[in-house]
Structure 1
């Protein structure tokens, strides 16, 4: 066969795919699609002490929505944020310690842990040149996953799954993630966008948030408010219970006995998906389309008409969704969005983007009511953390290609904690059941087909 015949054969193969399953069979066999019950609650598949998402109470077998709360190791995230902001300090390193070790650090422990992370915040010699710059990826998440897997080759104890070794590997990865993310972006920017290549080394005295801005920007400059808000974003994204897709992947792959690098690479693949970590990109794109089509951002009626078109699949990507509104778990409120909103307004004022912030606030206010009326949504819906995070990143001049990598730089803390928890509790390999519903057929010899 020549190349043209092979190409035609390859195209024809896709037409032979027969993967469609009758939707009624899922009801017949009581399959919990997406591991969700019919009322939207998650199917209980594990126990954790790391993070808790609480959004409803059960009263006489009835699910009653309540304002959402998020707990890190049993401590309300609002109290954690209030604590470090009251002290006028960064909070991400404190949250790392809390999630990994289960307790808040005292001053000495926090300083020592911060120094340890700073010590590990480097990559092997020639790694940036040979692994990142020589193989630039069009997607930074793929670049990060490749870099993580490459670090396996350099680790003399890569397959050692003892707690001491896994903890060391995790802390090293937490420290290095800002570098492999930012440097992956610079490689993309230079080789795929023809921009100047400028690589800054991290500064040992800077926090994780400060170092991200320092390494990302050509002039290394940033304001304190910018760094504080990015730090807040890292804190709010660090953990979200064991049931979110990427943390569940972490438990699944860890339960198979795999190495740390393979586990984290798998989690990155999960987070890359637009239904998970890539959601804030859709919010930004939706608002860009909205701003182009609205004549008066302050006109409630005009904004509401545009939102109605979104729900009726007549605007933007015609998906019928208002991105950033609604959540699989939260209904009345997402605590991360509530916290974020307080400080987003401050940065918008500093950046001269108050009109745009007001548009976001207006959409948040109008969308919930409209979705219940037009989409017949049977529960309260509210803005989720992705609604504001993309706007924050844009105000911070973070390129859109880095939105999901920033999420990963934060969430690796939760992944690390869940990996260690899975190992400590020595659970069984995660292997849920699938029922085969294909009809029985006889084998037909090759000459009779």
Structure 2
């Protein structure tokens, strides 16, 4: 396949670069570690490498060097749509090159061949209690498919070769990104649509097909395309991407690795935040403006009431960003065009106009600007996907793109098993008293 050969060419170009850096410049210091970083979750310690995406505190995410607007503008669009297909974005993530329409079509055909989820996976999920969280079902389904892993089979074949291993990771990665929307749609239908049968359309791209599989109309197709692309990657330090990378660094196959990433994504401090933000917003709407327009004065008072009661404003603040999350901006622009009169969007929009000033005056938030979760639930709610415990599954479908692209490159460049060095509290206390580690 042309995409696989393009990845091979890129890896051949990168290997000498990483080899030279490690061999000739391995002792060059690029950062320092403080006690605060050691205790505080390794925040901002520069010790991971990825060329898939980069998160700048002021500018936001760049995919392969391009901002979100640049990415949307550059990639081939779905027929009749203003958004790119997920297939074109996948090609771009893997290679850093903007694909031609012919190359996109080849990926689409390839994914159609790969998208069949084994029947035993559906049987396993059906055997679970129906009230299991959908993220538990998704993680279980991905983990169950591990028996299909081409990388695992290659490793146990007796002919394992370090330099050639990436090709089998690539095969698993393509299988996973092709199958995960089908698996996610099955879970949605099982839990919320009385186990409605999947209606896979072999002619549609991934986003459009997903919309069809969960019973949505044409208007939801761009929602799916946009959502999966925006949530695909956020450099390697976030929990889901890092967990996936960490587990695969032990040569666990991509299925086991991404199941671990999904388990991290399910946490309320990570992917599940979108669910909690929408819950808070709906309660906020009912309490403060169920019968009136959300004016600036009304929302300002309500936000101060919220903060003065000891609560936070969900969806605001970010571990890295110090400006409005561009993913929020992209979704806001979608809402302004397609659902400007939606009452919930009006509320979220007014909160966006007021909250940064209130939070800055309050003074306890490093970043008073909204992140991606402040907006994403509103769009799903508007189009009738109101089962908010499913929102993190949607996140997981998109995040598979970035995680699988990263694993392909991790293995292609032969990155080592990840093994940070731990220290004890006594050591930290000693170095604190001495003013540093000598």
Given the two structures, how large is their TM-score scaled by the length of structure 2?
A: 0.81
Contact 1:254 1:419 in 2 (8 A): yes
User: Separation in 2 of the partners of 1:423 and 1:381?
Assistant: 38
1:290 maps to which of 273, 284, 287: 284
Contact 1:170 1:260 in 2 (8 A): yes
1:337 maps to which of 325, 328, 337: 328
2:222 aligns with: 228
What is the deviation of 1:332? 2.1
1:247 aligns with: 241
Q: Following TM superposition, where does structure 1 have runs of at least 4 consecutive aligned residues deviating by more than 6 angstroms?
A: 26-30
User: Separation in 2 of the partners of 1:366 and 1:50?
Assistant: 34
What is the deviation of 1:187? 2.6
Summarize deviations over 1:349-383 as a string: whole Å, max 9, x none. 4xx51x33221111011111111112343x45211
Q: Could you say which structure has the larger radius of gyration?
A: 1
Matched, 1:33 2:40: yes
Contact 2:151 2:172 in 1 (8 A): no
SS in 2 for 1:305: helix
Contact 1:98 1:104 in 2 (8 A): yes
Matched, 1:173 2:176: yes
What is the deviation of 1:45? 0.8
1:63 aligns with: none
Contact 2:63 2:93 in 1 (8 A): yes
Contact 1:100 1:416 in 2 (8 A): no
What is the deviation of 1:97? 1.1
What is the RMSD of the two structures over their aligned residues, measured on CA atoms? Answer: 2.3
Matched, 1:432 2:420: yes
Contact 2:265 2:272 in 1 (8 A): yes
User: Separation in 2 of the partners of 1:361 and 1:30?
Assistant: 35
Summarize deviations over 1:237-274 as a string: whole Å, max 9, x none. 11111111111112211111211111011001111111
SS in 2 for 1:211: helix
Structure 2 residue runs of 5 or longer lacking an equivalent are 1-32, 156-164, 428-438
Summarize deviations over 1:201-248 as a string: whole Å, max 9, x none. 31111122222221112xxx5133x21122111111111111111111
Contact 2:322 2:367 in 1 (8 A): yes
2:398 aligns with: 410
Matched, 1:269 2:263: yes
User: Separation in 1 of the partners of 2:87 and 2:405?
Assistant: 14
1:368 aligns with: 356
After the TM superposition, which residues 196-211 of structure 1 pair with which residues of structure 2 at under 5 Å, given as runs? 196-211=194-209
Matched, 1:99 2:97: no
Matched, 1:185 2:179: no
SS in 1 for 2:339: helix
SS in 2 for 1:53: strand
SS in 2 for 1:158: helix
Summarize deviations over 1:65-108 as a string: whole Å, max 9, x none. x4x23211112221121245697453321111111233221121
Contact 2:173 2:408 in 1 (8 A): no
Structure 1 residue runs of 5 or longer lacking an equivalent are 1-25, 37-41, 56-65, 190-194, 440-449
| Shift in CA distance, 304/169, structure 1 to aligned 2, threshold 3 Å | same
User: Separation in 1 of the partners of 2:84 and 2:421?
Assistant: 44
| Shift in CA distance, 136/115, structure 1 to aligned 2, threshold 3 Å | farther
| Shift in CA distance, 389/248, structure 1 to aligned 2, threshold 3 Å | same
Contact 1:100 1:413 in 2 (8 A): no
1:302 aligns with: 298
What is the deviation of 1:301? 2.2
Q: For this pair of structures, how many residues does the alignment match?
A: 379
What is the deviation of 1:304? 1.4
| Shift in CA distance, 135/356, structure 1 to aligned 2, threshold 3 Å | closer
User: Separation in 1 of the partners of 2:278 and 2:251?
Assistant: 39
| Shift in CA distance, 127/253, structure 1 to aligned 2, threshold 3 Å | closer
| Shift in CA distance, 30/383, structure 1 to aligned 2, threshold 3 Å | closer
| Shift in CA distance, 356/144, structure 1 to aligned 2, threshold 3 Å | closer
1:14 aligns with: none
What is the deviation of 1:31? 2.2
User: Separation in 2 of the partners of 1:244 and 1:115?
Assistant: 32
Matched, 1:43 2:41: no
Summarize deviations over 1:265-318 as a string: whole Å, max 9, x none. 100111111111111111101111111111433332221122112222x2xxx5
User: Separation in 2 of the partners of 1:29 and 1:409?
Assistant: 34
